[in-house]
Amino acid sequence: MNLNFFQKIKNFLILSVSFAIKKFFLFSLALLVIIFLLAGLIFYKYAYKVSAYPDAQASSELRIDSALYQKVFSRLEEKKKAFEESSDIQVSDPFAQ
């Protein structure tokens, strides 16, 4: 009886592993197809479309608000200055004895 029980478990494990391998292959194949489709869409949007239709690129012109740019730049300079000034502060070492 024990031998028959172990044989059933062995057969079940072999069947379940083979089923998982078959489904894994199909899943990985489907995932590979999806990845290639997404890569193709990205290539179409950013490479092929721009080279094939140059007029579409000219219509979406990038404009930078210079006043906003100056505000952001001055704020970054202030943060940089504050960071450089904070390096002069002496902090005691809590691990020193």
Distance CA 24, CA 30 (A): 10
Rounded to an integer, what distance in angstroms lies between the CA atom of residue 62 and that of residue 58? 9
pLDDT in 10s for each residue of the chain, 97 residues: 567 888 998 999 898 888 878 888 888 888 899 999 999 988 888 777 767 666 655 556 678 889 999 999 999 999 999 888 877 777 788 887 6
92 located within any domain: no
* Cβ-contact 57, 50 below 8 angstroms: yes
Give just the sign of the alpha carbon dihedral 84, 89, 93, 97.
positive
Q: Which of 39, 43, 60 is nearest to 52 (CA)?
A: 43
- Is 94 part of a structural domain of the chain? no
- Would 60 be classed as within a structural domain? yes
Q: Which residue segment(s) compose the domain that 45 sits in?
A: 2-86
Q: How many domains are contained in the chain?
A: 1
Does 58 fall in a domain?
yes
Query: What's the pTM value of the predicted model, to 2 decimals?
Result: 0.37
- Which residue carries 């479309």 as its tokens? 49
Does the residue 93 lie in any domain? no
